Amino acid sequence: MRMLVLVTSLGMLLASTLGVSAGPLVNGSFEDPVLPNDGRFDYTVPTGWTVYTDQTCNPQMLRYTSGTVPVPDGVQYAQIQTLASTAGTYAGFYQTFDVTPGQLYIISGWFRPLSGTSIARVGVDLNGGTQRPTEWGAVLDGAISQTWTEFSFEVTAVGPSMTIFLDHTQNGTKSGRATAFDGIKVVVPEPASLGTLLAGTVGLVGLRTRRRK
């Protein structure tokens, strides 16, 4: 048991040394909960995420079946649909996760406005609250593209947590507009001395393997 704890600690140390993950952002790929493979979509809130809107909306999760467009990350994705017939109405998912103050993070993922009047946006509340952003790190207007598009932007943490907003809004007055999201990731940029770090990693992994025996 003591050896197990040691190995776990070593793994955590390794992860923090590498800086691969920013912390507990969970289910950025929307693979949880697992949907049945027989339906087109489910009105389900993805695990770890919270729904917000100014009026009314439908959270949805979808699972790809054969014959549909490939999913960017895994086999499921999430989308948010506004039900109000008001231009500017909005809805989305947010999630708060731990960060290190002063650290630079790359936020990336995929989004897809599902109509010509849908607008996909991703932004953060740097204070880790639930204040919907007024400035966005990534925007895709459905009038420009309605296909899966990868986005990426950088933010510097100011506190111990940060909240990401996956936002949908619309230009037109038709209800039932939506935006899809998948593969949301928060990572620390790779350091320049990657080769040196990798060499060190191989050594640590070797050590870890031996200790497990």
Verify binding: residue 73, Ca ion, rule CB under 5 A: yes
What is the rounded CA–CA span in Å between residue 80 and residue 90? 9
Least Cβ distance, residue 192 to Ca ion (angstroms): 31
Closest to Ca ion by CB, 128 or 181: 181
Residues 112-171 that bind Ca ion (CB under 5 A): none
**Tokens for 170?**
């619309």
* Count of residues touching Ca ion (by CB under 5 A): 7
What is the rounded CA–CA span in Å between residue 41 and residue 71? 14
Total Cβ atoms within 10 A of residue 70: 7
Verify binding: residue 74, Ca ion, rule CB under 5 A: yes
What is the rounded CA–CA span in Å between residue 125 and residue 212? 42
User: Interacting stretch for Ca ion, rule CB under 5 A, among 36-44, 70-78, 146-154, 169-177?
Assistant: 70-78
Residue nearest to Ca ion (CB): 74
Strand, helix or coil at 146?
A: coil
Least Cβ distance, residue 69 to Ca ion (angstroms): 13
Verify binding: residue 172, Ca ion, rule CB under 5 A: no
Closest to Ca ion by CB, 74 or 159: 74
**Tokens for 86?**
């008001």
What is the rounded CA–CA span in Å between residue 70 and residue 73? 9
Closest to Ca ion by CB, 21 or 55: 21
Verify binding: residue 48, Ca ion, rule CB under 5 A: no
Least Cβ distance, residue 14 to Ca ion (angstroms): 26
58 within 8 A of 129, measured Cβ to Cβ = no
Residues 1-40 that bind Ca ion (CB under 5 A): 29-30
Residues 181-200 that bind Ca ion (CB under 5 A): 182
Q: What are the distances in angstroms from CA 50 to CA 5, 46, 71?
A: 33, 8, 22
Residue written as tokens 């593969």?
Answer: 183
Binding stretches for Ca ion (CB under 5 A): 29-30, 73-74, 76-77, 182
